[in-house]
Structure formats: structure tokens, C-alpha cells
Structure 1
Amino acid sequence: MNLAEEAEPLPHVRDQVRQTLDGHASASVVDDAVLVASELVGNAVRHTVTGPDCISVEVYRDVAVVSVHDADADADSVRPRKDVSYDDLGGRGLRIVDELTADWFARTTAIGKVVVAVVQLDGREAM
């Protein structure tokens, strides 16, 4: 999904993730995946100059892979802050991503960086 021209990408991202995972996971797993995607896109909105350019959601047998790309090549800056408590108003996003995913990472690409999160699907059909 192209996000480069979206002034407010989060509602579209949430809808896209829900539609993509419909029937592949329970409602709670879909909610977790929506939260993960929202955190990754929100971080790109807040912490990069140009914001996110695209998001993809790939569904495999037992996982969904959420990838958010932006034009900022500093992949090393994408890591959870250890000094943030859950009571703080900001800085918790990547700690939440860390808790809700089987794995996640950031890497530099030819034109920026991508943050990839792997969400474990529970194998049950959505109700």
C-alpha cells in the first residue's frame, strides 16, 4: 500500500491490515497486528522527514509479515528505548512491537530503510 501521499496514513493502514488478515487469525491476533502496524507507521511519521512511503502485509501459513518503508536510511536508530517505563507518555512503541511479535528488525535499503515485524498467527479462523 502506497503511503507517500497520505496525509493521515494510520486509518488506511489499520483498515488494510484488518482486511488482509480477515479469516487468517483470531480477532485478538488481528488487533495485535493492527497495533504493530500502527506503531511502525506512527514511528515513521514522527521520526522521519518524509514519513512512510509504503507498507506491505504478507500472509503465510502461520505468520504475517508487516513491512514499513521510509526514505530515512538510519536503521540503527530503530530500537526499543530501555529507559522508558510503560507509564511514560512516549517512547513505548517499539517495546510494544517487541512484545507482540515473534521477531522484528530494521535494515537499510537502497533508498531508505524498512522495519519488518513478524506476527505469529494462531491458525484459527476469525470469528
Structure 2
Amino acid sequence: MSEREEVVRRWRREARCVPLARAELRKALVGWGLSELEEDALLVASELVTNAVRHAVSPRDREIETRYVRLGDGVRVEVHDTCPARPVFGLSDQDGDSGRGLYLVAALADRWAVGERSGPGKRVWAELSVKVT
């Protein structure tokens, strides 16, 4: 592969963007011949986008950006938002149904981190690669 391939999309910060972002990633993985990563990559993307929708405190008109980058035998899933607050392991709400997403990301991804982005806010990313057996 001579140059990086990537798919960048912006979404309104609403729950309905999660399945749309997943569909874009699925399409990219198929196009890149990385369908083998689909299950784990879609779960990671769901968790990261959901966190941005639920926890990124920013004006409602600010969008979330997803960036899917092909990395040879893998993919980097990035989610950008305009909230500077870093995600925290173990955040949970009263129904006890949230707070495990970052543990899931850490378990499924080869590596992940939170970093700066161009403009206000942060980007949370995770990289997954095809496992050679």
C-alpha cells in the first residue's frame, strides 16, 4: 500500500449517529479487504462514538468526527470531539449499564490512546490488526 487510505465523516452528536458510523466502518473494512476485523472494530467504534455522544460536554451544534484509517493489515478507528475532558475508566451512570466501554476497547484493540486534535477537544483512537495464526 503506497499511501494511507482513510474515511472521514462528521456526525451530529446524537445517538442515531452510532449505527451510521458503524455502517461507514463496515463499508471501509470490506473495501480494504479487512472484513476479518469487522466484529471487533465495529464494537470499538460503537463504544468510542457512544462515549462522544453521551459524555463529551460541548454545544449541541458541535459535531463528532470519525476517521477510519487503513494501516496495512489493520485499521485505526478515531473519534474526535470538541470536549477537552479525557475519558475515564469506570465512569458509570445510575442504571449501571455504562462505564465498561473503555475496558472493552482496551481488551479488543492492539493499542489505544487519547490525544490532541487540530482544534478544540480531543481524539480517542484504537488500532486493530489481523492476527496471524
Give your verdict on TM over 0.5: yes
Asked whether 1:59 is paired with 2:70, we answer: yes
TM-score (norm 1): 0.79
Asked whether 1:115 is paired with 2:124, we answer: yes
Q: Find 2:80's aligned residue among 69, 82, 86.
A: 69
- Count of aligned residue pairs for this structure pair: 115
Stretches of 4+ aligned residues off by more than 3 angstroms: 4-7
Which letter does structure 1 place at the counterpart of 2:98? G
User: How much is the aligned-residue C-alpha RMSD, in angstroms?
Assistant: 2.2
CA contact (8 A) 1:44 1:52 kept: no
TM-score (norm 2): 0.76
Correspondence for 1:18: 26
Which letter does structure 2 place at the counterpart of 1:12? L
Q: 2: CA distance between counterparts of 1:11 and 1:63?
A: 21
Q: 1: CA distance between counterparts of 2:63 and 2:101?
A: 16
CA contact (8 A) 1:36 1:100 kept: yes
Give the share of equivalent positions with the same residue, in percent: 33
Structure 1: tracts of 5 or more residues without a match = none
Q: 1: CA distance between counterparts of 2:13 and 2:79?
A: 15
CA contact (8 A) 2:80 2:121 kept: yes
Q: 1: CA distance between counterparts of 2:85 and 2:107?
A: 23
